[in-house]
């Protein structure tokens, strides 16, 4: 396990993980080894003393936009996507608690027999007690992505940064998987992302982070220990922040 004694840049963070990351090398669904790898990274952060909350997408199980494109009514498709995020949250909770990390799942759609309802002050109290809080079911409303949910929860929890764990190590000028000449940005402003349509997160999420002055840190979560390295300001990543911070 990585050394956790080095100083951290942030006191409280929200980690956003796409559902697709949890697929690992499988074509769909939940790969338990990948879930456990992410859980091990989260455990390191908690051990270092940083308060962490988590939002996981549902694209590995069902994506509302894809369902709507196939003829489903958009609201119904989005609600199905929200339920997929609850499944991912429960899988992550199980992986974390098996390695001794106390965890709570809070859902924006009440389902009392499965998890807690989302209550802001209760979530903040869990974080203060060193528990990992996993926010599920997006915002509880159709037409809003889990990126927007992550931005909203980061603002409500007064996080110091929103970490977005993806399959690539930052923000590029183009998709590096398709364009070998794509170049990675070290730093960007919120307006850079919006003006260049870089698709870091959806526009409403980026605008909310801009208004809340919460930096977005984009990195690859696929490498074991990457999260802790980036938390220290090391490793390969891209920071999206205000003009002054990104200068």
Domain assignment of residue 95, yes or no: yes
What percentage of the chain has pLDDT greater than the value 90? 80
What is the structure's pLDDT at 128? 97
**DSSP label at residue 115:** S
Domain assignment of residue 192, yes or no: yes
Q: Quickly tell me which residue has 């990992």 as its tokens.
A: 132
* Domain of residue 185, CATH code: 3.40.1160.10
Domain assignment of residue 212, yes or no: yes
**DSSP label at residue 28:** S
CA distance 198 to 217: 14
pLDDT at 6 over 70: no
pLDDT digits (tens, 9 = 90+) for 221-243: 988 889 999 998 888 999 999 86
Domain assignment of residue 174, yes or no: yes
Domain assignment of residue 56, yes or no: yes
pLDDT digits (tens, 9 = 90+) for 60-108: 998 767 777 788 899 999 999 999 999 999 999 999 999 999 999 999 9
Domain assignment of residue 160, yes or no: yes
pLDDT digits (tens, 9 = 90+) for 136-176: 999 999 999 999 999 999 999 999 999 999 989 999 998 88
Residue by residue, DSSP assigns the chain as: -----SPPS-SEEEEEE-GGGGGTTSSSS--HHHHHHHHHHHHHHHHTT-EEEEEE--TTT--HHHHHHTT--HHHHHHHHHHHHHHHHHHHHHHHHTTT--EEEEESS--TTTSEEP-HHHHHHHHHTT-EEEEESTTSSTT--HHHHHHHHHHHTT-SEEEEEESSSSEESS-TTT-TT--EESEEEHHHHHHHT--SS-HHHHHHHHHHT--EEEEESSSTTHHHHHHTT-SS-EEEE-HHHH-
pLDDT at 116 over 90: yes
Dihedral angle of Cα 82, 215, 14, 121, to the nearest 10 degrees:
-90
**Which residue segment(s) compose the domain that 126 sits in?**
12-246
Domain assignment of residue 2, yes or no: no
Domain assignment of residue 6, yes or no: no
**Cα first-last separation, the chain:** 34
Kindly report the pTM of this predicted structure: 0.92
pLDDT at 23 over 60: yes
What is the structure's pLDDT at 214? 97
**DSSP label at residue 169:** S
Which sign, positive or negative, has the C-alpha torsion 187, 136, 18, 235?
positive
What is the structure's pLDDT at 70? 81
Total domains in the fold of the chain:
1
């Amino acid at each position: 396990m990585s050394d956790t004694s080095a100083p951290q840049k942030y006191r409280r963070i929200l980690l956003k993980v796409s559902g697709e990351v949890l697929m690992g090398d499988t074509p769909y669904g939940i790969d338990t080894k990948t879930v456990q790898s992410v859980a091990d990274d989260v455990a390191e952060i908690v051990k270092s003393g940083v308060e962490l909350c988590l939002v996981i997408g549902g694209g590995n199980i069902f994506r509302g936009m894809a369902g709507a494109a196939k003829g489903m009514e958009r609201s119904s498709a989005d609600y199905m996507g929200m339920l997929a995020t609850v499944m991912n949250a429960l899988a992550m909770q199980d992986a974390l608690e098996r390695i001794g990390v106390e965890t709570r799942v809070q859902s924006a759609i009440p389902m009392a027999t499965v998890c807690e309802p989302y209550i802001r002050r209760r979530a903040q109290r869990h974080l203060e007690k060193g528990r990992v809080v996993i926010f599920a079911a997006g915002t509880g409303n159709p037409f809003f992505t889990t990126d927007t949910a992550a931005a909203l929860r980061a603002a409500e929890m007064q996080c110091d940064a929103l970490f977005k764990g993806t399959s690539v190590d930052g923000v590029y000028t183009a998709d590096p998987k398709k364009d070998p000449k794509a170049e990675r940005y070290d730093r960007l402003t919120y307006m850079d992302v919006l003006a260049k349509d870089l698709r870091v997160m959806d526009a409403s999420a980026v605008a909310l982070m801009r208004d809340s002055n919460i930096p977005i840190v984009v990195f690859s979560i696929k490498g074991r220990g990457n999260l802790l390295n980036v938390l220290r300001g090391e490793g390969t990543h891209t920071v999206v922040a205000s003009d002054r911070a990104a200068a």
